[in-house]
Amino acid sequence: MAVFEWRGIDGRGKEIRGVKDADNVKVLRTLLKKDGVLLTQALEGAQAQKAKARDVDFGRMFRRVSTLDVAMTTRQFATLLKSGVPLVESMSALIDQLESPELKAALTQTRDKVNEGSSLHESLKMHPTIFPPIYVNMVEAGEASGTLEAVLARLADFLEGQAKLQGKVTSALAYPGFMALMGLGTVGIMMVVVVPKVTAIFEDFEQALPWYTRALIFTSDIVTNYWWAIILMIGLSVFQFRRWRATTEGRAKWDSFILRTPLFGKLLLMVAVARFARTLATLLKAGVPLLRAMEITRNVLGNVELMKVIEDAAGSIREGESIAEPLKRSKKFPPIVTHMIAIGERSGQLEEMLENVATSYDAQVEARVQMMTSLLEPMMIVVMGGISGFIAFSILMPLMRMNEFIN
């Protein structure tokens, strides 16, 4: 039986899409017809992948599978297995109730690979954008130890924690970001629409204008007449920056610089420490060997400088050192973190100590983000008020002088 990604038209004339199992296109058309859907396109497995690579689907760019969706599916998967439902049957039940086409297609292809005799973790490797290395390796450890349902439950906890933290940071930054956009839009309208009309009366004014009024008029002319060049320059700058950062040298320099910035460096380090501790604890609890767990943890940090620290630490561990010592020597991890890891190693409770570190730093990240956003709001109000005040001052002062000359 093949897996088809199909498109069709329902009874209301609306275009819909989905994933379905069928022996061939004719059977698929019959099955969809029973559901009141007229089939317009059907692509099987490899054909669908080639079409995705060839076509630019801008809608698909914004339809990525969220971490929370994967977490919920993983928890349901663990519940079904714990209830004694066979593996393939559990996956079929999950596929039937999924709404995300991307996740549904990935699980369908995974189930078919498992049906053909492949292991679950090998089948999941085909979809690295949905199931990252930490997911695949934990599933592999669960299959090897016969505790797959317990490992999946831990994975669900881990993914839900990551999604929760990400959601808190996003929601905390949403309001300041909205205020910044509104402020920039307001200033842009003033510079393009209001300032040219008001300053037009200065053209016949024989007296020299103050320097701040001349600066305002110059800026307004630039924004009004060369807005396209400004947008082009910003776009080129962003493109060049991203191109430079994609290089090995550029990525290393940028990651090193961002960790040393006064405001965001400390926050990014806290996020990295929490992610390191949580990921390593989750992998070790799932039975993944330490060195392999360190390798996976290194890849989820997202900062080249910190990744180098973990890589060096793994090399020291191979030579017989503890985890805490190389981390302490790097001076990148806070002393309290290395101290707690050392205590966990000596007491045989490393996983629990790492969980405590992650929980503590998650709370610190949340508190710091709230503090930063509470400071950003008044700062933006002051900045936008200063800009608006400068515009008003630059316009009103020449008008007052004009009134004096008239009198």
CB 231 within 8 A of CB 223: no
- Secondary structure of the chain in the HEC alphabet? CEEEEEEEECCCCCEEEEEEEECCHHHHHHHHHHCCCEEEEEEEHHHHHHHHHHCCCHHHHCCCCCHHHHHHHHHHHHHHHHCCCCHHHHHHHHHHHCCCHHHHHHHHHHHHHHHCCCCHHHHHCCCCCCCCHHHHHHHHHHHHHCCHHHHHHHHHHHHHHHHHHHHHHHHHHHHHHHHHHHHHHHHHHHHHHHHHHHHHHHCCCCCCCCHHHHHHHHHHHHHHHCHHHHHHHHHHHHHHHHHHHCCHHHHHHHHHHHHCCCCCHHHHHHHHHHHHHHHHHHHHHCCCCHHHHHHHHHHCCCCHHHHHHHHHHHHHHHCCCCCHHHHHHHCCCCHHHHHHHHHHHHHCCHHHHHHHHHHHHHHHHHHHHHHHHHHHHHHHHHHHHHHHHHHHHHHHHHHHHHHHHHC
Give which of 299, 288, 268, 279 is closest to 157, Cα–Cα. 279
Residue 10 has pLDDT above 80, yes or no: no
Q: CA separation (Å) from 333 to 52, 262, 310, 342?
A: 42, 17, 10, 13
Q: Residue 141 in contact with residue 284, Cβ under 8 Å?
A: no
Above 80 in pLDDT, residue 49?
Answer: no
Given this model, what pLDDT does residue 17 score? 75
Report the mean per-residue pLDDT for the chain. 81
Per-residue pLDDT at 233: 94
Domains of the chain: residue spans and CATH? 2-61 (no CATH), 67-162 (1.20.81.30), 164-407 (1.20.81.30)
Are 87 and 120 spatial neighbours (Cβ–Cβ below 8 Å)? yes
State the average pLDDT over residues 31-49. Answer: 70
For a pLDDT cut of 90, what percent of the chain falls above it? 5
How many Å apart are CA 378 and CA 219, to the nearest integer?
Answer: 26
Band of the pLDDT at 240, cuts 50, 70, 90? very high
Asked if residue 403 has pLDDT above 70, the reply is no
Mean pLDDT for 276-292 is 84
Q: Could you report the per-residue pLDDT of 76-92, keeping only the tens digit for each?
A: 999 998 888 888 888 88
Burial 250-260 (b: 16+ CB within 10 A, else e): eebebbeeebe
Q: Is the pLDDT of residue 149 over 50?
A: yes
- What gap in Å lies between CA 249 and CA 284, rounded to an integer? 33
Q: Which residue has the higher pLDDT, 286 or 401?
A: 286
Nearest to 377 by CA among 166, 180, 169, 186: 180
Work out the pLDDT band at 235, boundaries 50, 70, 90.
very high
In this prediction, residues 293-311 reach a mean pLDDT of 85
pLDDT digits (tens, 9 = 90+) for 347-387: 888 889 998 998 888 888 888 877 877 787 788 888 888 88
Mean per-residue pLDDT, 256-280: 85
The C-alpha R_g of the chain, in whole angstroms, comes to 29
Count of Cβ atoms closer than 10 Å to residue 146 Cβ: 8
pLDDT at 405 over 60: no
Contact between residue 364 and residue 270 where contact means Cβ atoms under 8 Å apart: yes
Q: What is the reported pLDDT for 238?
A: 93
Q: What is the predicted pLDDT for the residue at 237?
A: 94
Quickly tell me which residue has 């991203």 as its tokens: 242
Q: Which has more confidence, 236 or 34? A: 236
Choose between 269 and 9: higher pLDDT. 269
- Predicted pLDDT of residue 188: 81
Q: Which residue has the tokens 């089948």?
A: 123
Q: Report the alpha-carbon distance of residue 363 to residue 361 in Å, rounded.
A: 5
In which band, very low, low, confident or very high, does the pLDDT at 236 lie, cut at 50, 70 and 90? very high
In angstroms, the CA 314 to CA 199 distance is 66
Question: pLDDT value at position 54?
Answer: 45
**Alpha-carbon distance 80 to 68, whole Å?**
18
pLDDT at 163: 82
Determine the pLDDT at residue 298: 84
The pLDDT of 10-17, averaged and rounded, is 73
pLDDT in tens, 172-208: 777 777 877 887 888 888 778 877 877 777 766 666 7
Q: What's the pLDDT at 61?
A: 41
Residue pair 321/312 in contact (Cβ under 8 Å)? The answer is: no
Residue bearing the bigger pLDDT, 61 or 147: 147
How many other β-carbons are positioned within 10 Å of the β-carbon of residue 95? 21
26: pLDDT strictly greater than 80: no
pLDDT digits (tens, 9 = 90+) for 92-123: 888 888 878 888 888 888 888 888 888 888 88
Q: With bands split at pLDDT 50, 70 and 90, how would you rate the model's confidence at 47?
A: low
Mean pLDDT of 147-157: 84
Q: Would you say 322 and 261 are in contact if contact means Cβ atoms under 8 Å apart? A: no
Mean pLDDT of 387-402: 80
pLDDT band for position 404 (cuts 50, 70, 90): low
pLDDT at 32: 77
Cα torsion at 186, 190, 191, 194 (round to 10°)?
A: 160
